[in-house]
Structure 1
Amino acid sequence: MNSEEMPLRSAGDKRDRLRIHLDNIGHGLIVLLPMAMAVANRSSPLVLACAALFVLASRLVSDGSDSYRLALKGLRSSALVFAICGIVYPLVTLAWALKPALGLFSWGEAVLPAVSSAVLIVSWRIAPPPRWMVGALATAMLIAAGFIVAELLFKLPLRHLYGGRLATFVHNRPVVTLLLLLGPVLVLIGFHRRWMLCWLVLLATVVAILESESEAAKLGLVAAAGTFALSYAPFVWVKRLLTVVLLGLIWMQPFFGSTVERIMPEKVIEATKAGNSEARIELWKAFGDVSRRYPIFGTGFASSPHMGSHPVAAEIDPAYRTMLNVGHPHNAFLQVWVELGAIGALFLTGLVLWVMKSLSGAPADIRRIGLVTLMTTSAIALVSHGAWQGWWIAAVTLAAALLTLRPAPSQPVE
């Protein structure tokens, strides 16, 4: 080796070490996300954004910007155009929103985790994450679930210590996050490879959900179990059935509240009083009335929190007018209609069709868990949470990003 080669090799070694450090930090932050949510239930967008930045930096250090150009070439231009339009159209609607400045902040809160997950997806096309990430993420989920159960059973002792908010509902967001990540993490680990860890994570997450106050998470758990059982039927029929169900839900939203009120038996409403079913129906009727008055373009992005002071409030039925002061309809599909109109519903329709098409070409186990995650997300979105909350977008998009990975091949048994 001559003297000129020594500095080159030294520089290359330093670059490799930097790449590895950045990669480990980025994926370590992904691992920490469930525990961060258990302690601070709005932290996931920041954690996910930092993780994406470190992973992006590691790929740029290793392969430069050309690697991202090559990775993006593999994506269909129609998908990129659809994604860009889906991001830009809400910005356009701020022109007629009641409070565009606050709407712009909400747009940023939603876009940050979505873009962060997109960066991870493209980065993982260049180079997969470290092999330890998924197992470590499962362990972190187990710890987070145990923390939540302990907090709920023993009246929030740790929150007394570190000064967190002393209310049991603060764990609703963390348990929803755990539920959405559960399927992708389990399929990537594989029950046949690490069955003990898989069962522990599954049982701990289910117990955390059942102990929590989140009726939405419990509904999501039921949807997950039902979809998992249904997924063993021929995929083409399951795909058609679930597509019809989801598109039907999207396009019936302007009349969703009145429809539920008409078809839901009184016994069911009584049985679900703990989940505020009566109030939710009134809420859906009020916001459904708004959506019918602004059917094409909606009232503007992130207008729901200010709907009580919107001019439309004076026009709707006084019987449920006060429900517009709640902040959002506790139904993401209906919120899309209220704020983005039928054009927003078209974007949702396109998203459902694109997801179904993507799952059609996936391996059977990823396809099955993809359907489970889609229906779990839809069930939760139908009854709870603001559509644009950053923690919610972070959980959904990180779950989707994990489903773009493939399980490690089984080690041969000697």
Structure 2
Amino acid sequence: MMALANRSSPLVVGIGALLFLAGAVAEQGGRAVTLLIGPLRTPLGLAALAFLGWCLASLAWTPFPGLWGRVLSEFLPTLVAAAILARLAPVRLPPWALPLGAGLLAAACLYIAGSLALDLAPQAWLGQRVALFMFNRPLLTVLMLAGPLAAFLALRGHRLAAGALVTVAALAILRSISGAAALGLLAGGVMFAVGRFLPRRIALALAALTLALAFALAPVEGDILHRLMPEAAHERLTQSSSRARVAIAQSFGAAVAQAPWIGSGYGMGLRFAEVPAAASLEPEMRAMLAVGHPHNSFLQIWSELGFVGAGLAALVAFLALRAASALPRLLFATALGLLGAAVAVMFVEHGAWQGWWTAGCGAAITWLRAASCARPPYESARESA
């Protein structure tokens, strides 16, 4: 669906969540509610609720309440649907779900690669917008889904199919103009190798360091890149508008310094040039704040929710990493690969609250949990170590 309509994933995840919820209620009645809210009592669930509570609390100081509600109305329903799907679907997937899911993902990758090879002729035939960047969102969704699906196939003994799926996904990503997807592919591959071949404690330490640096460096990313990035690098990255991205990061970083503790309010990215924290900035910086978001989700969290919001988001991420540490080796490595890909993409691309990204992450977690639930009993002790 994302390959054909690049904002469709919230609708697909929402429909899937409603269907699984209806099935769970028909199967278990009121106990389905207990099943859903049970994880909210865990440290990870409580941290997630605290972060969402802080997003809601920011209405008290947001300068544009209407914008706050508009952004939350896209993010929150998609997040709830993704959570329902990740909770209910894994143990209820029929045997044919895995080959169907893997086959459709491979077909989407081949469709995207073929369309790009034909200079988007299929899009012209279908009457769609003809622009290379239209595949960027679908490919970032492919990036998140390919690893968990491939791991699930491998655990079921279909290693050749798993390798083929990863290959066609990489082909589509590398054939596109999406630098974020290519960066995510590289980072995900590195973190998968870390989780697969290094001792678990070292792999966890490296993953935790990656998360810590992503949150800690976000407010000063622009200043660091401005000082360290050579002119030759900017020349090579002309298509990625690297100079503008550095200036945007510097501007949002300067705004963070004006409201460091509580931020300027959830969802204010679209009108950030008008928030109080921007009033004392130079006109050139205020102009860069008008782009809608800083192309760095971690920096967006800092600028909108301040140190408190960034701290709560980091707590959620670290607790999720701790939960992943209990997975068997292959799925642990896959989870680290998913983490590496997501962090890389979030550091260079899109707004933090966009529904299509939330839905894609939720679907990836659902497939990863499905692989864990369906793990064959004959898995070797070495694989689980």
Query: Do the two structures share a fold, i.e. TM-score over 0.5?
Result: yes
1:368-407 aligned at under 5 Å gives the runs: 368-405=333-370, 406=372, 407=374
* Identical positions, percent: 32
Q: Match of 1:386, as an amino acid?
A: G
CA deviations 1:224-262 (Å, max 9, x no partner) are: 121122221111112112212321220222211101222
Cα distance change, pair 70–220 in 1 and its aligned pair in 2 (3 A) = closer
Match of 2:212 in 1: 247
Q: 1:99, CA displacement in angstroms?
A: 2.1
Between structure 1 and structure 2, the one with the greater Rg is: 1
Matched, 1:341 2:306: yes
Q: 1:103, CA displacement in angstroms?
A: 1.8
CA deviations 1:315-338 (Å, max 9, x no partner) are: 113343321111110000000001
Q: 1:178, CA displacement in angstroms?
A: 0.2
CA deviations 1:178-231 (Å, max 9, x no partner) are: 001111111111177223322322121111111212110011011012112222
Q: 1:353, CA displacement in angstroms?
A: 1.3
Higher mean displacement: 110-119 or 402-411: 402-411
Match of 2:165 in 1: 201
Aligned partners of 2:116 and 2:175 also within 8 Å: yes
Aligned partners of 1:110 and 1:390 also within 8 Å: yes
Picking from 138, 146, 151, the partner of 1:174 is: 138
Cα distance change, pair 65–218 in 1 and its aligned pair in 2 (3 A) = same
Tell me how far apart the structure 1 counterparts of residues 155 and 174 of structure 2 sit (CA, whole Å).
Answer: 23
Match of 2:328 in 1: 363
Higher relative contact order (CA 8 A, sep 6+): 2
Higher mean displacement: 70-79 or 253-262: 70-79
Tell me how far apart the structure 2 counterparts of residues 52 and 181 of structure 1 sit (CA, whole Å).
Answer: 17
Aligned partners of 2:193 and 2:333 also within 8 Å: no
Higher mean displacement: 65-74 or 49-58: 65-74
Tell me how far apart the structure 1 counterparts of residues 284 and 65 of structure 2 sit (CA, whole Å).
Answer: 29
Q: Match of 2:268, as an amino acid?
A: S
Aligned partners of 1:68 and 1:122 also within 8 Å: no
Higher mean displacement: 158-167 or 134-143: 158-167
Match of 1:258 in 2: 223
Matched, 1:234 2:203: no
Match of 2:376 in 1: 409
Higher mean displacement: 310-319 or 272-281: 310-319
Match of 2:87 in 1: 122
Match of 1:140 in 2: 104
Match of 1:210 in 2: 174
Tell me how far apart the structure 1 counterparts of residues 39 and 296 of structure 2 sit (CA, whole Å).
Answer: 35
Tell me how far apart the structure 2 counterparts of residues 148 and 246 of structure 1 sit (CA, whole Å).
Answer: 31
1:219-368 aligned at under 5 Å gives the runs: 219-231=183-195, 232-368=197-333
CA deviations 1:96-150 (Å, max 9, x no partner) are: 223221221211211122211211232147x431121122111111111111112
Using the size of structure 1 for normalisation, the TM-score is: 0.86
Tell me how far apart the structure 1 counterparts of residues 63 and 175 of structure 2 sit (CA, whole Å).
Answer: 39
Give the root-mean-square deviation of aligned CA atoms: 2.0
Higher mean displacement: 312-321 or 294-303: 312-321
Q: 1:408, CA displacement in angstroms?
A: 4.3
Matched, 1:92 2:57: yes
Aligned partners of 2:106 and 2:169 also within 8 Å: yes
Number of residue pairs matched by the alignment: 376
Q: 1:158, CA displacement in angstroms?
A: 2.3
Cα distance change, pair 314–76 in 1 and its aligned pair in 2 (3 A) = closer
Q: Match of 2:72, as an amino acid?
A: W
Aligned partners of 2:149 and 2:367 also within 8 Å: yes
Tell me how far apart the structure 1 counterparts of residues 70 and 40 of structure 2 sit (CA, whole Å).
Answer: 29
Match of 2:126 in 1: 162
**Any idea what SS the aligned residue of 1:49 has?**
helix
List runs of 5+ in structure 1 lacking aligned partners: 1-35
Aligned partners of 1:91 and 1:104 also within 8 Å: no
Higher mean displacement: 245-254 or 391-400: 245-254
